[in-house]
Structure 1
Amino acid sequence: MKLNILSNKIGWFGKFSGYECLTEYFPKGVSLQITSSKKHFFSKAFGKLIQKYRKWNGISTSEIFAEFSFINKMSYRSMSHILYLESHLHILSLIQKKKKKLVATIHLPISQWSEEKLQKLTYLDNAILLYEEETDEFGKYISPEKIHIIKHGIDIDFFKPGDQTLVKKNKVLFVGHFLRDFEMFMKVYYLLLDSDFGKKLEFHFIIPVAFRKIAALAPIVNSKTVFFHGGLSDEELLEFYQTSYLMLMPMIDSGANTAIVQAIATGLPIITTDIGGIRSYGGGEVFEVVKRDDFEAMTALFTKYYNDSDFRNNVALKQRNFALEQLDWNVVAKQHLTVYKIIIGELKANTVS
């Protein structure tokens, strides 16, 4: 099989993070053409011409060059895949004659889509959705039978539990900034401070420096028990997952959340809200979830974990097993290949008929 891939790289992700890792797990028999944004003189010059002509003012010139390179590589003999659809919606109208062997992956929950952007989905024949919960909502714009559910994968050999003797009971982790419910976190934080163990807790936030101006967190930025980290290596990030006792990270909404997936794989018990795609990743079954804004229930759940290490360790084991069974990139890559074959098979069937 020949695969034509349009990829992206998230600036603060390391080697082992991000959906683009998928391309490293296809079997040897798959022929890959991977196109991604690269900055050089010709790409900028070409992209600037297209940017002006198409009035794509919010799109970088090097990204435009990558998109047209990807379109140029599309052919009847290859399957094409846009890994991050949200970044490339504007090109869908340009590839209508080739769209039958194209699939694109949806990452963001529908709350983050404007009606204008949703309408652009009507140009797409096939989609991969990384969680089940909003299939019906996206099905209003893409034929439901052409929406394929595949979970976000993880490198289970890198993101794995560490030495359990190094887990620090008072170390609490919060990772990322996008769609995080910092207001709810603060309500839980203040309740925890009033608990018997509250003064012992350390709260570690891993947030890129550029995104740290969060109004809700202003009262605690100078606290001696609150720490902010950024610019970490893959190994440093892993150490936080492996040595923390809990992840306390309420969400406003969620599709497939990278931090949640990484916590699952490392066996770091997750305390979060029952929203978006959380249940597709074990929420409510593998680990307990809490209704949004029910900060008292979230505090109670935190206390349950803190006072019962056996309960905590059992959830950690269940999360790890969930990752091994359902999130391993080797498993997920095979699921992608199955979807590609289904799409190609349907195309052949339609051609024959």
Structure 2
Amino acid sequence: MIDYLECRVIAAPEKWSFGRRVIVKSLGRLIKKSGVVWYNRDSAYNETVAAMRWLKKSGQIFHFIYGENSFRYLGLLKKIHLQNAVICTFHTPPWKFQELVADNKYLDDLDAIVVVSNSQRKFFSELIGEERVFYVPHGIDVQHYHPKMVFLTHNSTTKFKCLFVGQHMRDLNTLSESAKFLIDHDPTVEFNVVVPEKFHSCFIDLPNVTVLSKIPDTRLLELYQESDLLVLPLIDATANNSILEAMACGLPVVTTDMTATRDYLDDSCAILTPKGDVRGVVEAIQALKSDRDKLDGFAGAIRRRAMDFSWEKIATQMNHIYRKVSDGCHQS
């Protein structure tokens, strides 16, 4: 997104000089007392740099792209210098946020919160007021992730290739049970499962599953482009990068029905099944496998829908929020 915004990026250095290490060491107590599980050395350093810039001039907006781990103290400066604004984007479901943050009172210093799913809106609205909470979808690079223009001939013996990617809030049990059922009931369905090595044991004795780990980005892109279907049962979600990447590659999706997935998908390009419903996942796979015209229709529709989430369009939405926040800051 930053490629489409007029902004300066604050990021912790890859190599720490002696002076920078001294600065961060002096902040150790604040890190420990932050009450934010993911707040760390890089977070404290970035907020220190932001604080120095804050004091130089008015009319600035500081946007923390990952609010769960990067924002904690900068809002305190609003007590001495009101004419700057702070925005955070949060990516975790409410229950996860509550696990990570011991005391959320510091959020009241924010001028706006951006959520990447409507499933987060009520929780944050109750904390700081709905007028300060904005839904902006997560974006995707639709130039890098794109369909592969290859036309294949399918018959009754052609393998139907399903893809699963990731581990965060993924429902590995539903996936493995679905694959297990299909071993005997439809041997032409096979799965490529991209997960960290520690999850390989979930797929032992499943001959229709190939487990992959630590693959390069080029290979992952090929898998999106060469597969017939993304099968991604979930435990919970807000925005999901694997779904967005599949969408941009024109890969139809079977995933779990929840507010977050319906923010990005609809019935024109995906089948959404109840949580933990192995039978529903299996039936969705078989339905699309047996109806190539419907699958092809989904493929075209999902790529078109992905274009709505291009980073260029998401940046336009963010600029609208920046203007709104800036106007409010000047009026205060």
Q: Write out per-residue CA displacement over residues 232-258 of structure 1, whole angstroms, 9 at most, x where no aligned residue.
A: 333222111000111111000001111
1:108 aligned to 86, 92, 113, which one?
Answer: 92
Q: By how many angstroms is 1:53 displaced?
A: 4.9
Q: Partners of 2:227 and 2:31 in 1: how far apart? A: 48
Is the CA contact (8 Å cut-off) linking 1:151 and 1:256 kept in structure 2?
A: yes
Change (3 A) 1:205 1:35: same
Q: Who is 2:198 aligned against?
A: 213
In the alignment, the residues of structure 2 paired with residue 92 and residue 122 of structure 1 have an alpha-carbon distance, to the nearest angstrom, of 12
Given that 2:174 and 2:276 are in contact with CA atoms closer than 8 Å, whether structure 1 keeps it comes out as yes
Q: Is the 8 A contact 1:89 1:120 kept in 2?
A: no
Aligned partner of 2:289 in structure 1 is 306
1:255-294 alpha-carbon deviations (Å, 9 max, x no partner) = 1111111111111111110124111002445422111122
Change (3 A) 1:265 1:54: closer
Say whether the 8 Å CA contact 1:109–1:276 is kept in structure 2: no
- Kept in 1, the 8 Å contact 2:43–2:69? The answer is no
Residue type matched to 2:32 in 1? K
Query: Could you tell me which of 248, 251, 254 is aligned with 2:231?
Result: 248
Distance 2:40 2:190 in 1: 40
Q: Aligned equivalents of 1:226 and 1:192: distance in 2? A: 11
Secondary structure at the counterpart of residue 228 of structure 1: strand
CA–CA separation in structure 2 for the residues paired with 1:43 and 1:221: 47
In the TM superposition, residue 183 of structure 1 has moved relative to its aligned partner by: 1.5
The one-letter code sitting in structure 2 at the alignment partner of 1:24 is D
Aligned residues: 317
Matched to 1:109, the amino acid is: P
Deviations 1:303-331 (A, max 9, x none): 1011111111111111111111x101111
Match of 2:324 in 1: 342
Deviation at 1:301, TM superposition (A): 0.8
Question: Following TM superposition, by how much is the alpha carbon of 1:229 offset from its aligned partner in structure 2, in angstroms?
Answer: 2.5
Structure 1 vs Structure 2 CA RMSD: 2.3
What amino acid does structure 2 have at the position aligned with 1:73? Answer: R
Residue 68 of structure 1 is aligned with which of 48, 58, 70?
48
Task: Please name the residue that 1:40 is paired with.
Answer: 16
Equivalent pair of 1:37/1:66 in contact (CA under 8 Å): yes
Q: Superposed, which structure 2 residues align to 1:140-151 within 5 Å? A: 140-151=126-137
Secondary structure class of the residue paired with 1:312: helix
Q: Distance in 2 between matches of 1:278 and 1:120?
A: 29
Asked if 1:258 corresponds to 2:233, the answer is no
Percent of aligned positions that are identical: 23
Do the aligned residues in 2 keep the contact of 1:180 with 1:251 (CA within 8 Å)?
yes
The one-letter code of the counterpart of 2:190 is E
Change (3 A) 1:219 1:69: closer
Alpha-carbon contact 2:40-2:69 (below 8 Å) kept: no
2:68 partner amino acid: E
Matched-pair contact (CA < 8 Å) for 1:170–1:201:
yes
The alignment partner of 2:258 has SS state of coil
1:169–1:118 distance in 2 versus 1, CA, 3 Å: farther
What residue number does 2:161 align with? 171
Structure 1 stretches lacking a partner, 5+ long: 1-21
Distance 2:202 2:270 in 1: 30
| 2:9 partner SS | strand
Distance, in Å, in 2 between the alignment partners of 1:286 and 1:139 is 31
| Offset, 1:166 | 5.9
Aligned positions of 1:116-127 closer than 5 A: 116-127=102-113
Say if 1:219 and 1:230 are closer, same or farther in 2 by CA, change over 3 A: closer
**C-alpha distance 121-223 of structure 1, shift in aligned 2 (>3 A):** same
CA distance in 2, matches of 1:288, 1:264: 13
1:51-106 CA-partner distances (Å, limit 9, x unpaired): 13552596443442122112222342222111100112433554443575111111
Structure 2 runs not aligned, ≥5 long? none
Q: Is the 8 A contact 1:44 1:62 kept in 2?
A: no
**1:127-150 CA distances to partner (integer Å, 9 max, x unpaired)?**
111122331122111210111111
- How far apart, CA to CA, are the structure 1 residues paired with 2:23 and 2:238? 34
- CA 1:66 to 1:89, structure 2 compared with 1: closer, same or farther past 3 Å? closer
